[in-house]
Chain A
């Protein structure tokens, strides 16, 4: 597809469902360029103002959006902590967004605990809204850097078999990544999770409607067989508070802990990914093996977000 046909200028990034393959490839192409020649992007956002409204804790996402904007010459308006913003005093999100827009910002990057908050924000303000996490719904910029990692490591996503492990129901990164990977050809997905934490129905419906091959792996005894088929394993954390019965968590946690034994039947080329932070679901013994993609994955947070800023706001 010709370059001119894909433009993200002024676009909201609310949901990975809105992505197209040419759009994603455009982001990857510019991310490559950022990695190759970062100096070219130094003044790309000169004179622009970017608001970072983070109504929920974040380290990696916040800092990469912040550093990316600063490196590109933008002014950053950080509204980082609910204690610091008037949302803590009971102000509506609507009023907060209108107030920020009134400062003359060119873009609002927002993390919010409510599902659908980014969609709402995009309707409320005229400037582009970038969703940096909307409750358990989505995290579309994370999915871009996740898919970018796969492309960097394997050349393409086409034809790969990708497994998602852990809490797929409450993870915001999983739906976005599933929507993004579904844009590629011949992809197969395995959702490895206990039934209570399986992939959400709307995500499954999205795959069914697009004829994407996927299966749910719910039995502990079937995990190892599924892992043997994978090219990529995307690990998320199982959290005790998500289980209706804590003893269920104790019984299952071992089966969802990725260590060398867990990977014993895996392909030698299997890449393990994790949105980080990890707790004990991913053993540090994996770090020294070629399976460990997660630190490299995290390192793409900055270039991919710089590429996004450039495409949305750059001249």
Chain B
């Protein structure tokens, strides 16, 4: 069963494919999908645990009439390396391979409540260094480390 049979093709938008089965919610958090409701033209279609030739089962997210930012694409790829991102323009599929980021800025908050980057008084830009080979990101300011898999819990809103 192809997902095409479940959901029709879209004219433009983003398909986030090969998400590990049942992990779509984590990706939704990462891309702050709740923000998308502000745009009345956007629909979000989430497919969970659909068959995949490559991985057996997978999740897929379609962002109808929304292009996911390349920064978000890179963040998703960091946490779920199997993910592929396709931008759809006029029904045509463009495969996009995100570069893994060296630094993550703004998006993720430090888990240490006493970190200066969580200060309400100071306009500190949140920043993490990506330690690819170790599987962690590290706060540029206070050195706290976060496993890749925990990043979706720390998306700043």
Spell out A's residues near B (CB within 8 Å). 15, 17, 90-94, 112-117, 119-120, 134-138, 175, 200-202, 205, 209
With CB as the reference atom, state the residue of chain A lying closest to B136: A205
Say whether B123 faces chain A, with CB atoms less than 8 Å apart: yes
Contact flag A93-B121 (CB < 8 Å), given A15-B143, A115-B112, A115-B116: yes
Q: How far is the CA of A113 from the CA of B110 in the complex (A)?
A: 16
How many residue pairs between the two chains, A and B, have CB atoms under 8 Å in the bound complex? 67
Q: How far is the CB of A182 from chain B (nearest CB, A)?
A: 14
Specify which chain B residues have a CB less than 8 angstroms from the CB of A205 in the assembled complex.
134, 136, 145
Specify which chain A residues have a CB less than 8 angstroms from the CB of B115 in the assembled complex.
114-116, 135
Say whether B14 faces chain A, with CB atoms less than 8 Å apart: no
Q: How far is the CA of A201 from the CA of B138 in the complex (A)?
A: 11
Within the complex, which residue of B119, B123, B143, B144 is in contact with A114, where a contact is CB–CB below 8 Å?
A: B119
Chain A to chain B contacts (Cβ below 8 Å), 9 pairs: A93-B122, A114-B142, A115-B142, A116-B116, A119-B116, A120-B122, A135-B114, A137-B143, A209-B134
> Are B145 and A115 in contact, CB atoms less than 8 angstroms apart?
no
Residue-wise interface mask of B (81-111) relative to A, using a CB-CB cutoff of 8 A (1 in contact, 0 not): 0000000000000000000000000000010
With CB as the reference atom, state the residue of chain A lying closest to B118: A114
> Are B116 and A202 in contact, CB atoms less than 8 angstroms apart?
no
With CB as the reference atom, state the residue of chain B lying closest to A114: B116
Interface size on B, residues (CB 8 A): 21
Specify which chain B residues have a CB less than 8 angstroms from the CB of A117 in the assembled complex.
116, 141
Q: How far is the CB of A37 from chain B (nearest CB, A)?
A: 38
Q: How far is the CA of A134 from the CA of B121 in the complex (A)?
A: 17
Specify which chain A residues have a CB less than 8 angstroms from the CB of B114 in the assembled complex.
113-115, 135-136
With CB as the reference atom, state the residue of chain A lying closest to B140: A119
Q: How far is the CA of A116 from the CA of B139 in the complex (A)?
A: 9
Q: How far is the CB of A138 from chain B (nearest CB, A)?
A: 8
Say whether B124 faces chain A, with CB atoms less than 8 Å apart: yes
With CB as the reference atom, state the residue of chain A lying closest to B139: A116
Specify which chain A residues have a CB less than 8 angstroms from the CB of B110 in the assembled complex.
116
Specify which chain B residues have a CB less than 8 angstroms from the CB of A200 in the assembled complex.
144
Contact flag A94-B145 (CB < 8 Å), given A113-B114, A136-B114: no
With CB as the reference atom, state the residue of chain B lying closest to A203: B143
Q: How far is the CA of A138 from the CA of B143 in the complex (A)?
A: 10
Specify which chain A residues have a CB less than 8 angstroms from the CB of B141 in the assembled complex.
115-117, 119-120
> Are B138 and A202 in contact, CB atoms less than 8 angstroms apart?
yes
Specify which chain A residues have a CB less than 8 angstroms from the CB of B121 in the assembled complex.
90-93
Q: How far is the CB of A171 from chain B (nearest CB, A)?
A: 14
Give 8 closest A-B pairs by Cβ, nearest first: A116-B141, A115-B142, A116-B142, A116-B116, A114-B116, A202-B145, A92-B121, A92-B122
Specify which chain A residues have a CB less than 8 angstroms from the CB of B124 in the assembled complex.
120
> Are A93 and B116 in contact, CB atoms less than 8 angstroms apart?
yes
Q: How far is the CB of B131 from chain A (nearest CB, A)?
A: 8
Q: How far is the CB of A286 from chain B (nearest CB, A)?
A: 33
